[in-house]
Amino acid sequence: MTKISVQQLLIYPVKGLSSHKCDHVYLKVGHGIPGDRAFALMYKQNATDTSLTTVSWMKKQNFAMQNDWPGLAALHCFYDPDTGTFTVKHKGVELLVADTTTSKGRDLISAFFTGYLAGIYPSQAARHPNRAPLQLVGEFDKTRYPDREAVHISLVSQATIDNLSQLAGQPIDVRRFRPNIVVEGVPAWGEFDWVGKEIQLGTAKIVVTVRINRCLNIDVHPETGERDMRLLSLLQEQFQHTQTGVLAQVISSGSVAIGEELMIMPDVKL
């Protein structure tokens, strides 16, 4: 039997912005991966909480999203969890360095992205092309702002991405799909068979809940912010669906590292 193992681990410290590669992550029941989508750029007009570090989960239309603003992908953003420093670069040029642990630093980040969106255009298919002022909300390791209220992590097979690359006639960067965990040793689209199954993942245990329905964000190049591929249309044309990868919930907390094996748990017979 082919070994299924973790090839990549990715988190997205700020919802809608750059991914960070990790050697290992912690999976927490009721939370997912601490540090993943820990911050978000909320439209100020939607503010209801008095503390910006403890803003409750809200639907994604309350935040600046790459799906609406593909130009966000052109920014290379880095968060240092040891210092709380957030850095933004564009084509190697440093545009912003700010401290997320201070009000001044958070205001600098908020003002930067408010100004950045004012200078770019939303996607033609944008569902929420809001130009209201932005405010950075959240706290690393404490809050999470995933798209769905039921906290989750996402997984995709590298073989699935390879199959799509063959169909597209060019390599596809897995970051277009913004997964947390990329696995190898699974046939293309084989992760769909995991729905409803429990999986031992390092010292953690997860249950796969649903396939992921995709949006036009997968058409955006993760480095340039340009819509340079018709991947959503390709999925529909080739498979009559727009799904790639799966979501899972953590049912037993633990850690997982690159190279560790995934074990599909046998179904319990009643």
181 plus 237 within the same structural domain: yes
103 falls within a domain: yes
Is residue 50 over pLDDT 80?
A: no
Question: How many structural domains is the chain composed of?
Answer: 2
206 plus 244 within the same structural domain: yes
130 plus 76 within the same structural domain: yes
269 falls within a domain: no
For 113-135, the pLDDT digits (tens) are 999 999 999 887 777 778 889 99
Q: Which phi and psi (to 5°) does residue 5 adopt?
A: -140, 165
CB 99 within 8 A of CB 85: yes
d(CA 194, CA 208): 6
Section 138-152 average pLDDT: 88
Q: pLDDT category, 152, cuts 50, 70, 90?
A: very high
Domain residue limits at 132: 39-138
164 plus 245 within the same structural domain: yes
d(CA 215, CA 255): 30
d(CA 12, CA 213): 19
19 plus 44 within the same structural domain: no
Burial 25-38 (b: 16+ CB within 10 A, else e): bbbbeebbbbbbbb
For 53-100, the pLDDT digits (tens) are 778 888 888 999 998 999 999 999 999 999 999 999 999 999 999 999
Residue at which a domain ends, from 104, 138, 172? 138
